Amino acid sequence: MEPQTLEAIGRIFGAGIAVGLGGIGAGIGMGMVAASGDEGLMRQPTQNNAMVRTMLIGQAVGGGTVSVFPLVIAILILFMPATDPEMVGGNFVATMIGAGLAIGLGSFGSGLGCGWPGATACDGVARNPRKITPITLRMVIGQAVAQSPTIFAMVIALLLLFTQQPGTDVVHIGIVLGAGLAIGAGALGPGIGSGIAAGGGITGIGKWPQNQDVTFRNMLVAQAVCQTPAIFGLLVAFVLFTRHAMEPGWTSLAQLLAAGIAAGFGGIGAGIGSGFAGETACEAIAARVRSENVILRTMLTGQAVSQTTAVYALVIALVVLYIV
Amino acid sequence: MDIGTISAVVQTVMSQAPEEAAAVITGSELLQAASFIGAGLAMGFGAIGPGIGQGFAAGKACEAIGRSPENSNLLTRTMLLGQAVSETTGIYAFVISLLLLLYLA
């Protein structure tokens, strides 16, 4: 097969993975917001301006911005000139697929997660249309925090595209695919989880607007804790970038891929689980501000226990890279 | 794209692999590589369930403590017990991964 054909195949697969996976989450998330907005309109037919405005802001900030990231990466994958003439054949294909996996899986999570705050904000506005400004403002901030795992994925995707990762060919393939999986799948759970946590906070603010400051503070804490697995994924991706001196061979390729799979997929459950803990905790705090301390403590304990599995996955990723 | 084209692409990608890597993988290398991938899959996918399950437990505990803060000790204890049970499958995955990495590979 000619090199140009192979290059084209790499670009097509990479761009397809990026936009295909990235679009799923944003699509579902925007649908959740729209469903909730319609329900709100049914309950408050006279407030259609407020409802439609909340719904559109929720969709634009949630699904809209999240799906721009995979679009940008896909355009880069398709049209950027090959930066390094050394990078040909399998290396090029693997780099493009790695970048696509990173941003595709990463933005899947944030796009889906941003649906929760959007949907609960529509609920809140339907319940209390005069509170549209505080609810929408906090929804936008919650969605922005839920998008930070996608930013991590974007950083790794851009690094993969614009800096050539050294290493003999098989090791290079392992590094780029492993790094793409580690940060892509690693950002998936935290994106969904911090969105779910934000949804709980916005529900609380909608139902008990008088306690909005306390609820909002705890919502941000809950969202921040959900991001830990994404940081593990980022860490493993950077560690993989330093492993270019591994002995060339299929076992090295397997080691690099296994580290990426363990660190990446191991973070999904921890991210989503911490999000569920944060969701109900934020609602409980909004309902009873006086018990804030004890609920926050229980939430943090529960989230920490829920993240032990992500720590196991990180340990396995490091063992497979350094000890074996 | 049919299977023939895909396998041609895979073969071409693989044929770009370096000369110093053995073109044909030996049996022990294959076993080792499979153990590594198996360990990664076991831990990666094995960690999903316990994480989500423990999150549910923590969420419900927070809700209950919100309703009756005076029982917070009892509720926290029950939450941790439930989470510990839910953790077992994660520990199984961890043990299997370590076995695969340190004994079989």
Q: Domain for residue B41, yes or no?
A: yes
- Chain A residues whose beta carbon lies within 8 Å of the beta carbon of residue B30: 250
Count of domains forming chain B: 1
A268 contacts in B (CB within 8 Å)? Answer: 47-48, 51
- Is residue B74 in some structural domain? yes
How many domains does chain A divide into? 1
**Which CATH number belongs to the domain containing residue A80 in this structure?**
1.20.120.610
Q: Is residue B15 part of a domain?
A: no
Nearest Cα residue to A66 out of A16, A31, A109? A109
| Long-range Cβ pairs for the range A77-80 (8 Å, 24+) | A77/A11, A77/A14, A77/A15, A77/A18, A77/A161, A78/A11, A78/A12, A78/A15, A80/A161
Chain A contacts in chain B segment 47-66 (CB below 8 A)? 47-63, 65-66
pLDDT in tens, A90-99: 888 999 999 9
**Helix A148-162, helix A132-146: angle, nearest 10:** 40
**pLDDT value at residue B20:** 45
- What is the C-alpha to C-alpha distance for residues A225 and A276, in angstroms, rounded to an integer? 12
Tell me if B6 is assigned to some domain.
no
> Quick one: how far is CA A320 from the chain centroid?
25
- Taking alpha carbons only, the member of A196, A279, A210 closest to residue B63 is A279
What's the mean pLDDT in A272-277? 96
Are the C-beta atoms of A95 and A84 separated by less than 8 Å?
A: no
Q: How far apart are CA A157 and CA A17, in angstroms?
A: 13
Mean pLDDT along residues B45-62: 94
Q: Is residue A272 within 8 Å of residue A194, measured between CB atoms? A: no
Q: What is the pLDDT of residues A13-27, one digit of tens each?
A: 999 999 999 999 999
Instruction: Return the residue of B nearest to A313 by Cα.
Output: B43
The C-alpha atoms of residue A227 and residue A149 are separated, in whole angstroms, by 7
Backbone angles phi, psi at A237, to 5 degrees: -60, -45
Kindly report the nearest CA distance between residue B84 and chain A, in angstroms.
8
Domain membership of residue B89 (yes or no) is yes
Residue B21 within a domain: no
Q: What percent of chain A has pLDDT over 70?
A: 98
Angle ∠(A152,A153,A156) on CA atoms, nearest 5: 90
CATH number at residue B68: 1.20.20.10
Residues spanned by the domain of A26: 3-323
**Residue A124: which H helix or E strand, with range?**
helix A115-127
Interface check for B78 against chain A (CB to CB < 8 A): the answer is no
A218: its two tokens: 């705890």
Query: Any idea which of A153-167, A181-195, A208-222 has the lowest mean pLDDT?
Result: A153-167
